[in-house]
Structure 1
Amino acid sequence: MNDIEERLNFRSDLLEDSKDEDGFIVQSNLLSQVLPSMLDAKLIDSEDFNDSYFHDQSNGQKLNAYNISNSGERLQLFIIDESTIDETSNTEELLILQKADYDNQFKRVEKLIKKAFNSQLFNSIQDSDKAKVLASKLESLEGFNEIDVIEIFLISLTVAISNQGKTTQPRSIYFQEEKCNRAFKSKEEAKKKEVLILKKLIDLNFLFNVMVSKGYREVLTIDFEKTFNYGLEAIKAAENESFVSYLCVLKADIIADLYRQYSSRLLEKNVRSFLDFRGVNKGIKETIRKEPEKFIAYNNGLTITATDIKTFENKHKLYIASLTDFQIVNGGQTTATIYFSKKDGLDVSKVYVMAKINVAKQTNEKDLEQLIDNISKYSNAQSKVSNVDLKSRNSQLLKIKKLSESILTPKSRKWFFERSKGEFNTLLRKERSNKNKILKDFPSERRFTKEQLGKYYCAWGEEPYLVKKGGERIFRNFIEHLSPDEDNGKKPPTIDRDYYEALIAKVILFKEMELIYGTRNSAIGQIRSAVIPYSLSVLYIYTDTHKNYFNFQKIWKDEGVDENLSVFLWNLMKLVNALIKKYSLSDDLGEYSKRIELWNSIKHCQEIDFFMSEDKNKILMSKYIIQDKRG
């Protein structure tokens, strides 16, 4: 099977998994399939998205969804080229030679942005349209101040190809960044700023690479000469068989520009999942404000890893031209704080930062990954970043995988735990002749990834706002539960049959609530990804106490929820849906539900107390609450 054919077969699998119960391909379902791969490739911070479907065919405008990065300054817009998800399309239509075909799709979103920047979008959209909230944010003073970068992701189930040479080959297509000047006028003030517009194609080449590599991430190459017209002066400090170390001094302006361009993509996974970019370090900021020339003396600097380096000499001095596979493994807070300090108007021109750059030599991928992990681990040894392993090789995850392969449900079925990225699709590729049997044995409702498992598990707790954020932060919480720091007296859970059954019961409960909440016209509302974790957290605090615990064994034995519990959950989610609207201090419900303030307003409000104290609900809950005899 050739490369093109493999990608087109993968497309068929994606479309099949994006269908609703009536067999229709749903664009939001496709987004849910695609975004986890983009998260794995470090392009986004979370697989969560705010559905903002808008399609004005007459004016050539379209948008599917948006998200705001954890750092807050980056708006990410998603558009699906609907012509590429037609199952009747032939191969010729899906092979794209011309970059212009993709440019035309990007323009559909760019027209919306331009309209918003001219304060013409909000009033042109009906109140019932999902894009109304986004239009309001874009045209507001808050949106003007916050958003410095807009990334447009075009999801196109096509294959970008090149016909150079004897055969047709898949190829990558890149798009030039653009800078857009915008103004904001009010009665009080007039402001101007420059917004960076970035465009990224998410086609079958990209998605297939993520799947087959079981965790593909695009290697980030920083070309200091080309991008910044800036050769980075350095000295070679050490060299051995594993790596070469360089020492250099970075201008703060360069660091700020790097962060603006690449955001959290600069940061190694452990660091990225730990840091809260919304809260900048006050000490660092005060040094920039009062003693910028002393910053280099006060700050620990950056530790950077790379896998390749290009250097040149000029007047007997060594300069770094570019670094390949650039990752900041220590100094993420410094990097973010410099960016936000400059954004707030502080002068960073006198600020310089020490940097240690370790360029790994190994060609073996496993050894290389281990080396970079160790550099990250020991670079952060004195900081508060805990050294959890966020990868699929975690020993506790391996135990869960083995149990999933051996334990049958009460109805003699198994669940498929995708411990490594793309594991299920790899199985389908290897067993193409048995594809139908595999899909029958493991339909989408009985499959879950390690990231989904983290979300399902952590939803049963008191941090629904973190579950709503998704991404590596919530997965870190799950891994820290599986593999806690034993030096602090915490013991890891015993991963046995009982643990596995309770885990699957939590997966079942979450997935059942997604079905109960509904989609499109039958949905309770438009904020399902917030309502479900919030509702589960409400259920948790009212049933899992020091005296009692919830009976997940009943859900495991039933392999679902019974009719009475289903009605209860529907009523609870309907109430929580209304409460999120009531207590949110922003019209952007999807984003505000990521804040602890909303959860604090809801968890013990009178409406929840009244609902949970109703006789019918107390009677139902009594069937699912077991008296705690564990101690």
Structure 2
Amino acid sequence: METTTTEFFHDFRQELLVGAEANGSFQLSEFMEIVANELVETGVTEGFELCHYRAQRGMRVDGYWFDDEGMLELFVADFESRDKLISLTKTDVDTAFKRVTNFFEASISKGLSGELEITSPEYGLARQIADRKGAIRRLRLTLFSERSLSERIKELPDSVVTGIPVSYQIWDISRLHRQRSARSHKEPLDFDFEHMFGSGIFCLPAHQGTEAYQSYLIVMPAELLASLYERFGARLLEQNVRTFLQARGTVNKGIRATILNEPGMFFAYNNGITATAQSVETRMTDAGLAITRVIDLQIVNGGQTTASLFHTKRRDKADLSRIFVQMKLSVIDNKNSETIVPKISEYANTQNRVNAADFFSNHPFHVRMEGFSRRIWAPAQKNVQRETKWFYERARGQYVDSQSKLTPSEQRRFKAEHPKLQMFTKTDLAKFENVWDDHPRHVNLGAQKNFAQYARRIGREWEKSSDSFNEFYFKRAVARGLIFRATERLVSVQPWYNGGYRANIVAYTLAMLSEITKRKKGHIDFLRIWNEQGIDVSLESVLSIISYVVNEDITKPPDGISNISEWCKKEACWDRIQSRAEEIEKLLPLDFYSQLISFDERDEERKKARKTQRIDNGIEAQRQVLSISSDKWAYLHRELSARALLSPKEESILKLAMQIPAKIPTDKQCLVLLDTLEKGMDEGISLD
């Protein structure tokens, strides 16, 4: 049963109030973070930094993000913690955008930073705007509102401020509701090519004889492709491709060389682009069939080509007029997009595999973590009788989708079993893990870049030993999440905290805690934290001490660096904080060190968990193998033998499977059978 916008508003408000209390944050900050996280997850924006500033001179800003392509995004809030849903008028919109525009103008040309406290986030932003004056190519102003626009406004007219092109977007409560309610959990892009470029794009239908889906072959002008990427950026790329680009950088040297030196050969040299859409509109012209409109165009392969065309045009002033790109466009309706689009993306990217590119929501790692989260009960917290679960959202929107078909009483039971504050996403997991095991700088680079780094690392580790990702790993990840969120709350209530850089302080605090325990040849007892579902007073004290030193350090960047958030993204920032490890060690209470577990104890826990996981893998493999009849194993044997694709080992084990149930393969033999089954599927052999 779908909720109305009014019902969604009240649910959203409760989510916000609970989140603000649990995270120790102001309601305005929690509101901005919730909406910004939605947009980061769906590729509307690359990242978000909190920065609240209001002045009587009609200036306001509540957040910002500088991307790598010369765009600055400034966010402004319309939020008063209203308890009723009311309309957002055009006058309100104009006033909000005028205030954030005034902040930008005062920063870029009126020396606003000179009037601000040097350690405040607003100083860093204003100073950075002034310093980057020549590098800011585009400005996007985004309004977050807890109210609802009386009529849906897809786009506001662009303008120019201090010579810089400006675009506007509004995320009101209705638009947020539509996004969360959408099957794909993202707002589709609607391209009207005739309106945008004056004409449609000529195409060749490639779906005669099938009603399953429509497909078109298109020769896409590079200028048009670069223009779309400049305007919509990562939203144009299917989520898996965004991860791929985060992992590899933005410009391919080979593609760039062809653009600059042999533009006429680009079509011949380049593999082209694979894309999907929910629907298209076509019109027959004298010159042939033309696509005039596309709903939700998503590039699932060719993101590197698209980005490289844009960057080479901008950085090298390249002429794209002679360059064309072949595009295969498949029209997949919304109903089937969740199952078909990932397969198209996976198969289209097979030629250029990168771990992060393959690390999609259906990767076995995510599937296993999801399985643990649905099965493992977390111990009841102190003075609470009921046990709960930590809900891992493997694919975006699962938490809401899981409740969509439940009755009101079933929904109450679900929320009691899976509290909203115990839901965590792939990007949350990457954040919890990377501050301990990789590098805090990655976390400070933003959710998507941090996830790309995590994806690369876990992809490599999974290939080496998937048994390492077991129940202990899941419980440890949750414990790390408990510490992470506890640190956020602690920092927020410290007397020295001025409201800025909390994310940076938390990341470096936990990284330093990890560093100190390594120096002491010990480890945090994560299983104890899991069992207690929280941290004790001793650890709270340690986190308070470390966070104080971290805040003191990061708010004094070297000469020449004005923006503290940018300083926190640099290797030198972590190096300098690490150099204070010995100083911090002496400040920590001795009872903390006595609670650390030894390397041997930790290794014993890991060893037991890996052994258990191997047993679980074998049991699951046997279950899958025994669910397939002996006749089907015989068919697989016959087909693979005819193609000479069986090894002697596979041959003998398949013959054993052909005797089920008279003979039962062992767990290890079952693992071989599943690999053989996958080999058959790769050859197009279906047991169905």
Q: What TM-score do the two structures reach when normalised by structure 1?
A: 0.83
- Distance in 1, matches of 2:24 and 2:456, equals 39
Q: 2:103 aligns with which of 83, 90, 112?
A: 112
2:155 maps to 1:175: yes
Q: CA deviation at 1:212?
A: 3.5
Q: CA deviation at 1:4?
A: 4.1
What corresponds to 2:222 in structure 1? 252
Equivalent residues, number: 591
Query: Any conservation in 2 of the 1:255–1:335 contact (CA below 8 Å)?
Result: yes
- Distance in 2, matches of 1:235 and 1:425, equals 38
Q: CA deviation at 1:216?
A: 1.6
What corresponds to 1:268 in structure 2? 238
- Distance in 2, matches of 1:627 and 1:485, equals 20
Q: CA deviation at 1:570?
A: 1.9
Q: CA deviation at 1:229?
A: 1.9
Amino acid at match of 1:130: P
- Distance in 1, matches of 2:347 and 2:255, equals 22
Q: 1:61 aligns with which of 54, 59, 62?
A: 59
Q: Secondary structure at the match of 1:280?
A: coil
What corresponds to 1:86 in structure 2? 82
Q: 2:509 aligns with which of 535, 539, 542?
A: 535
Distance 1:339 1:415, change over 3 A: same
What corresponds to 1:188 in structure 2? none
2:549 maps to 1:575: yes
Distance 1:348 1:619, change over 3 A: farther
Flag the structure with higher helix content: 2
Q: 1:383 aligns with which of 344, 352, 362?
A: 352
Distance 1:349 1:470, change over 3 A: closer
2:143 maps to 1:154: yes
What corresponds to 2:27 in structure 1? 26
Matches within 5 A, 1:113-512: 113-123=104-114, 125=116, 127=118, 129-140=120-131, 142-145=132-135, 147-161=136-150, 171-180=151-160, 182=162, 195-213=164-182, 216-239=185-208, 240-276=210-246, 279-361=250-332, 363=333, 365=335, 367-385=336-354, 386-390=357-361, 394-404=366-376, 406-409=377-380, 411=382, 412=385, 413-417=387-391, 419=393, 421=397, 423=399, 427=403, 446-476=422-452, 488-496=463-471, 498-512=472-486
Q: 1:523 aligns with which of 484, 497, 501?
A: 497
Q: CA deviation at 1:233?
A: 2.4
Q: Secondary structure at the match of 1:356?
A: strand
Amino acid at match of 2:438: E
Q: CA deviation at 1:219?
A: 0.6
Query: Any conservation in 1 of the 2:220–2:325 contact (CA below 8 Å)?
Result: yes
Q: CA deviation at 1:269?
A: 0.5
Give the stretch that moved more between structures: 333-342 or 122-131: 122-131
- Distance in 2, matches of 1:616 and 1:364, equals 55
Query: Any conservation in 2 of the 1:214–1:422 contact (CA below 8 Å)?
Result: no
- Distance in 1, matches of 2:282 and 2:201, equals 9
Amino acid at match of 2:4: D
Q: CA deviation at 1:158?
A: 1.2
Query: Any conservation in 1 of the 2:275–2:301 contact (CA below 8 Å)?
Result: yes
Q: Secondary structure at the match of 1:310?
A: strand
Amino acid at match of 1:265: R
Query: Any conservation in 2 of the 1:403–1:500 contact (CA below 8 Å)?
Result: no
What corresponds to 2:51 in structure 1? 52
- Distance in 2, matches of 1:304 and 1:429, equals 32
What corresponds to 1:75 in structure 2? 72
Distance 1:440 1:379, change over 3 A: closer
2:566 maps to 1:591: yes
Residue segments in structure 1 that go unaligned for 5+ positions in a row: 162-170, 183-193
Residue segments in structure 2 that go unaligned for 5+ positions in a row: 608-688
Q: CA deviation at 1:611?
A: 3.0
Per-residue CA deviations over 1:335-378 (Å, capped at 9, x if unaligned) read 222222222242323441322232224x462x322221111111
Amino acid at match of 2:257: E
Distance 1:314 1:213, change over 3 A: closer
- Distance in 2, matches of 1:459 and 1:159, equals 38
Q: CA deviation at 1:123?
A: 4.0
- Distance in 2, matches of 1:6 and 1:155, equals 19
- Distance in 2, matches of 1:290 and 1:61, equals 48
Q: Secondary structure at the match of 2:466?
A: coil
Q: Secondary structure at the match of 2:351?
A: coil
Flag the structure with higher strand content: 1
What corresponds to 1:189 in structure 2? none
Q: Secondary structure at the match of 1:270?
A: helix
- Distance in 2, matches of 1:320 and 1:562, equals 62
Distance 1:539 1:546, change over 3 A: closer
- Distance in 1, matches of 2:104 and 2:587, equals 52
What corresponds to 2:678 in structure 1? none
2:581 maps to 1:608: yes
- Distance in 2, matches of 1:249 and 1:355, equals 5
Query: Any conservation in 2 of the 1:306–1:359 contact (CA below 8 Å)?
Result: yes
- Distance in 2, matches of 1:22 and 1:373, equals 34
Amino acid at match of 2:152: S
- Distance in 2, matches of 1:263 and 1:364, equals 22
Distance 1:430 1:479, change over 3 A: farther
What corresponds to 1:187 in structure 2? none
Q: Secondary structure at the match of 1:568?
A: helix
Q: CA deviation at 1:479?
A: 5.8
- Distance in 2, matches of 1:396 and 1:2, equals 31
Per-residue CA deviations over 1:80-110 (Å, capped at 9, x if unaligned) read 1134x234xx55xx134x4343233222212
Distance 1:254 1:415, change over 3 A: same
Amino acid at match of 2:92: D
Q: CA deviation at 1:474?
A: 3.3
Distance 1:609 1:278, change over 3 A: farther
- Distance in 1, matches of 2:58 and 2:402, equals 38
Q: CA deviation at 1:181?
A: 5.8
- Distance in 2, matches of 1:212 and 1:455, equals 26
Query: Any conservation in 1 of the 2:193–2:200 contact (CA below 8 Å)?
Result: yes
Query: Any conservation in 1 of the 2:206–2:216 contact (CA below 8 Å)?
Result: yes
Amino acid at match of 2:290: Y
Distance 1:577 1:127, change over 3 A: closer
Distance 1:616 1:454, change over 3 A: closer
Query: Any conservation in 2 of the 1:309–1:359 contact (CA below 8 Å)?
Result: no
Per-residue CA deviations over 1:541-585 (Å, capped at 9, x if unaligned) read 443599754321232234333333222222222222333345666
Q: Secondary structure at the match of 1:43?
A: coil
Per-residue CA deviations over 1:365-424 (Å, capped at 9, x if unaligned) read 2x32222111111111111333222369942232132135x3434645424425252726
Per-residue CA deviations over 1:502-544 (Å, capped at 9, x if unaligned) read 2221111111211222258552773221122223223334435
Q: Secondary structure at the match of 1:321?
A: strand
Per-residue CA deviations over 1:602-631 (Å, capped at 9, x if unaligned) read 4652x224434x385676335213223447
Amino acid at match of 2:143: L
Distance 1:609 1:440, change over 3 A: same
Q: CA deviation at 1:220?
A: 1.1
- Distance in 1, matches of 2:74 and 2:467, equals 40
Amino acid at match of 1:268: E
CA RMSD of aligned residues (A): 3.5
Q: Secondary structure at the match of 1:414?
A: coil
Q: CA deviation at 1:266?
A: 0.8
